[in-house]
């Protein structure tokens, strides 16, 4: 009987699925170590200022507690990100609310709650800066009191963590071309679009357990942190600096992780360092787990953004040129803002051909907790602005949104805005045709236009076309130099060793599928090791839609090497059964002792990228998509709901259809929340609605039927042609939804989240309380400013 391989293209059971369903999976708060204490964090209550004094209440016996301050840090007082501006603990100055100042440990969690209340801190309070605009105004006015970040030591400007300028060619030529384009354009269309912060809201809060080991002289010899995280080697690097230890003395273990979405990319470097410091000083293992309110208030969010576009367009609808300006709010420290800004910059032009293009971008400093990674990583922000603007251009020049896009789509053989040739097949025309057909777009556009004349519920349909680069930007994958091991267990089964982590998205499953396909083995025979940096190599972070494509390809290559080794030295037949593989593996082990294959990243094709000019091959590959949203806007309650959603994407070979569909459905759900529900309410830099009772996310009852469709165009960069999929579905929902709302109401909304009160205020400001099709006033709405010129 032919064996069932369950490799790429099949949908086997998740590797960790059974344990999760049966309740056997153990998360960090399920774990305990002998003589373990618990940790807590004393945080600032102001946005900006100087610490004057710390008071420890007399009602607490402080001899029972371990208290850690910045003075106790044996290495550098910094959390390692891209720059070292982020203090591990505030020692003198405060730059955001909820900034860590002290750490406490005690055997009793209840005692810690009492101790936290007994500590008071005196401050000299300084004026804070809380938005992109306030930060810009402080710099423009040279207001020394509100210059909150001096970037001189990092070759940056005041209040600005990073800037990029990206041209669609040589800078001087593009500038000259832009001047001509705007002079010759029939229409010049301008718009401004903004997005808010978004909380990752993973099911499991951040948490770790740390141990510290000393040598016979009492000096710190090594540290070990296990916890809920995405990127174990990020935490290794952070511990190296905080403890002044070599890499091999900093062990990190990822345990079962209940969701992440980017929120556990860089932040475990913070909480992991804190727990390890407590373990060092207390002499006990220390568990540090945040509750929901602390997790929401103190950890990273999606960057708020502002995108401005000025575009030159011909009467026929050809894009002639664009000036795009992107700004993101980085929060109080740089953290990952430069790389989030990079992706926002590169994705700002979208899947379109721009003869002349300039994108300028910047990440501004504010006195809110640092913003960080979240699914999409900058692309949802700039693509929201672009796709709203494309609909605005179409409306301005009097053609349909579909026709405008068809006239300007990139295609196979074209060059992206960074000058990257599209050598693999790209057919956005086909994607658009199918997406609109699946959604019955044209029929609904006509039907709703009639129904909306008399109905208080206005219905509309809108779409967004977009792409998402998979893998690290430019030369990033070469710099990572990721490595994968594949070894034989004593019983002959192959085991994958990678630092890529499973946090619900399917890493363990798809990597085992990649190995099973290459080894010609049943999926159940392939195992994957727990990510433990004392055992697994650094295969790069589990981010950037890179796991399936980059790491999966490495697993495939290691599997092919293993087959070659076993066929050469253990007589493994080419068309083998699983029993023949196991027998050959055991013969090899009996003779040689062990077998471990190791491979490092090598691009399948030459990749050229210029970091200074920001030109070249921005990503190893791209996923392409068209999303269609159908909405209903009730003009009596001013609520907007999504009533149907169609998501069509080309993501290379679909590795696991069930998991892939789930990834798209989950991303669309988060995108709907981003567009219509999830608002971070800030009060002097503190997240005021840091509870699940008043931070509103869509539940299953709020979500529409989500219809997921795939086109498969295999890519040479991934295993069996697979590409990345995880971030793509976050990019398209918000602009598609707001395009649909404009189609329903005739009113343009260009900021998200769009809540009922926002619709109410906008509708009444325009003087038509029950919706309708009245045009916005270009004299009062910057978003709709249009210049018409005669060439």
Question: In the chain, which stretches have pLDDT less than 70?
Answer: 1-5, 154, 768-791
- For 17-25+482-600, which CATH class? alpha beta
Contact 227, 239 (CB under 8 A): no
Q: What pLDDT is attached to residue 3?
A: 64
Contact 647, 625 (CB under 8 A): yes
Give ranges for CATH 3.90.1170.50 in the chain. 31-126+206-289
Instruction: List, edge to edge, every strand of the sheet that includes 66-68.
Output: 66-68, 100-106, 37-43, 286-289, 207-214, 220-227, 250-254
Closest CA to 79 of 279, 269, 342, 325: 269
Greatest pairwise CA separation for the chain in angstroms:
85
Q: What angle do CA 463, 468, 473 make, to 5 degrees?
A: 155
Helix (H) or strand (E) holding 243: helix 232-243
Contact 354, 319 (CB under 8 A): yes
Contact 223, 280 (CB under 8 A): yes
Q: What angle do CA 251, 255, 257 make, to 5 degrees?
A: 130
Contact 714, 636 (CB under 8 A): no
Supply 176's token pair.
Answer: 């000259």
CB atoms within 10 A of CB 522: 17
Helix (H) or strand (E) holding 458: strand 457-470
Report the C-alpha gap between 56 and 118 in whole angstroms: 6
For strands 615-616 and 609-610, give the pairing: antiparallel
Instruction: Tell me the sheet residues that pair with 38.
Output: 106, 287
Report the C-alpha gap between 385 and 464 in whole angstroms: 11
Report the C-alpha gap between 153 and 158 in whole angstroms: 11
Q: What pLDDT is attached to residue 780?
A: 38
Strands, DSSP E only, in 215-304?
A: 220-227, 250-254, 286-289
Closest CA to 642 of 671, 664, 662: 671
Contact 646, 704 (CB under 8 A): no
Contact 493, 765 (CB under 8 A): no
Contact 569, 588 (CB under 8 A): yes
Q: What pLDDT is attached to residue 773?
A: 41
Report the C-alpha gap between 687 and 198 in whole angstroms: 11
Q: What pLDDT is attached to residue 777?
A: 37
Give ranges for CATH 3.30.365.10 in the chain. 17-25+482-600
Report the C-alpha gap between 148 and 177 in whole angstroms: 38
Contact 315, 187 (CB under 8 A): yes
Report the C-alpha gap between 130 and 583 in whole angstroms: 65
31: cis peptide before it, omega within 30°? no
- Count of residues for the chain? 791
Strands, DSSP E only, in 315-452?
A: 319-331, 357-365
Closest CA to 669 of 647, 687, 654, 653: 647
Which pTM does this prediction carry?
0.96
Report the C-alpha gap between 783 and 779 in whole angstroms: 10
How is the chain split among helix, strand and coil, in percent rounded to 5?
A: 35, 25, 40
Closest CA to 393 of 460, 312, 324, 465: 312
Supply 638's token pair.
Answer: 């001013």
Q: What pLDDT is attached to residue 533?
A: 98
Contact 740, 631 (CB under 8 A): yes
Closest CA to 46 of 480, 524, 265, 369: 369
Contact 392, 189 (CB under 8 A): yes
Instruction: Tell me the sheet residues that pair with 209.
Output: 226, 287
CATH of domain 31-126+206-289: 3.90.1170.50
Closest CA to 730 of 625, 617, 618: 625
Report the C-alpha gap between 636 and 518 in whole angstroms: 59
Q: What pLDDT is attached to residue 353?
A: 98
Q: What pLDDT is attached to residue 752?
A: 98
* Interval 459-479: pLDDT, tens: 999 999 999 999 999 989 999
Closest CA to 139 of 324, 365, 331: 365
Closest CA to 529 of 565, 560, 489: 489
């Amino acid at each position: 009987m032919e064996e069932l391989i369950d490799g790429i293209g099949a949908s086997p059971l998740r590797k960790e699925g059974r344990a999760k369903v049966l309740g056997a999976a153990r998360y960090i708060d399920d774990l305990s170590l002998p003589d373990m204490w618990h940790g807590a964090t004393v945080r600032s209550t102001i946005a900006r200022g100087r610490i004057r004094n710390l008071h420890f209440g007399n009602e607490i016996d402080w001899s029972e507690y371990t208290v850690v301050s910045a003075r106790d840090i044996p290495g550098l007082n910094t959390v390692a990100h891209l720059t070292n501006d982020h203090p591990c603990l505030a020692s003198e100055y405060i730059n955001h609310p909820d900034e860590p100042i002290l750490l406490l440990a005690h055997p009793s969690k209840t005692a810690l709650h009492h101790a936290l209340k007994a500590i008071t801190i005196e401050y000299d309070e300084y004026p804070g800066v809380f938005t992109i605009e306030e930060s810009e105004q402080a710099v423009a006015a040279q207001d020394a009191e509100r210059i909150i970040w001096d970037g001189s030591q990092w070759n940056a400007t005041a209040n600005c963590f990073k800037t990029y300028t990206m041209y669609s060619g040589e800078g001087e030529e593009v500038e000259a071309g832009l001047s001509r384009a705007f002079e010759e354009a029939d229409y010049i269309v301008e718009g401004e679009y903004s997005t808010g912060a978004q909380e990752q809201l993973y099911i499991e809060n951040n948490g770790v357990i740390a141990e510290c080991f000393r040598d016979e002289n009492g000096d710190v010899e090594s540290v070990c942190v296990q916890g809920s995280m995405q990127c174990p080697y990020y935490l290794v690097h952070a511990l190296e600096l905080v403890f002044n230890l070599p890499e091999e003395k900093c062990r990190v273990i990822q345990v079962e992780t209940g969701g992440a979405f980017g929120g556990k990319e860089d932040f475990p470097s913070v909480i992991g360092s804190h727990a390890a410091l407590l373990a060092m000083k207390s002499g006990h293992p220390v568990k540090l787990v945040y509750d929901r309110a602390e997790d929401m208030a103190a950890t990273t969010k999606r960057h708020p953004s502002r995108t401005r576009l000025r575009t030159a367009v011909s009467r026929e609808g050809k894009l002639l040129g664009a000036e795009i300006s992107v700004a993101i709010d980085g929060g109080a420290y740089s953290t990952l803002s430069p790389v989030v800004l990079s992706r926002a910059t590169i994705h700002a032009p979208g899947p379109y051909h721009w003869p002349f293009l300039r994108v300028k971008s910047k990440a501004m400093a504010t006195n809110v907790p640092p913003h960080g990674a979240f699914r999409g990583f900058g692309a949802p922000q700039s693509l929201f602005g672009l796709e709203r603007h494309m609909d605005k251009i179409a409306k301005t020049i009097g053609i349909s949104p579909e026709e405008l896009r068809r006239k300007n789509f990139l295609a196979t053989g074209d060059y992206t805005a960074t000058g990257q040739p599209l050598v693999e097949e790209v057919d956005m025309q086909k994607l658009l045709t199918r997406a609109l057909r699946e959604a019955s777009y044209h029929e609904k556009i006509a039907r709703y236009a009639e129904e909306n004349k008399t109905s208080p519920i206005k219905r509309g349909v809108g779409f967004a076309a977009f792409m998402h680069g998979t893998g690290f930007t430019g030369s990033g994958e070469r710099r990572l130099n990721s490595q994968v091991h594949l070894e034989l267990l004593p019983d002959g089964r192959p085991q994958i060793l990678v630092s890529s982590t499973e946090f619900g998205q399917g890493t363990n499953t798809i990597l085992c599928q990649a190995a099973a396909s290459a080894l010609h083995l049943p999926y159940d025979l392939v195992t994957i090791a727990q990510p433990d940096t004392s055992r697994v190599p650094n295969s790069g972070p589990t981010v950037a839609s890179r796991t399936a494509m980059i790491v999966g390809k490495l697993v495939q290559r290691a599997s092919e090497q293993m087959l070659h080794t076993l066929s050469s030295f253990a007589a493994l037949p080419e068309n083998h059964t699983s029993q023949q593989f196991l027998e050959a593996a055991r013969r090899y082990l009996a003779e040689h002792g062990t077998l471990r294959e190791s491979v490092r990243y090598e691009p399948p094709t030459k990749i050229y990228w210029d970091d200074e000019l920001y030109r070249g091959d921005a990503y190893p590959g791209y996923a392409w998509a068209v999303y269609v949203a159908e909405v209903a806007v009730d003009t009596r309650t001013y609520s907007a709901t999504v009533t149907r959603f169609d998501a069509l994407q080309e993501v290379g070979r679909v590795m696991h259809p069930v998991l892939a569909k789930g990834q798209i459905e989950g991303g669309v759900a988060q995108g709907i929340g981003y567009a219509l529900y999830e608002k971070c309410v800030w009060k002097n830099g503190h997240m005021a609605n840091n509870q699940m009772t008043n931070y509103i996310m869509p539940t299953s009852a709020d979500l529409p039927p989500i219809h997921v469709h795939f086109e498969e165009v295999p890519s040479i960069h991934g295993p069996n042609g697979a590409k990345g999929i995880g971030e793509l579905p976050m990019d398209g929902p918000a602009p598609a939804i707001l395009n649909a709302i404009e189609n329903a109401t005739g009113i343009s909304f260009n900021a998200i989240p769009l809540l009922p009160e926002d619709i109410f205020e906008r509708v009444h400001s325009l003087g038509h309380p029950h919706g309708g099709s009245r045009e916005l006033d270009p004299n009062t709405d910057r978003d709709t400013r249009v210049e018409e010129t005669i060439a």
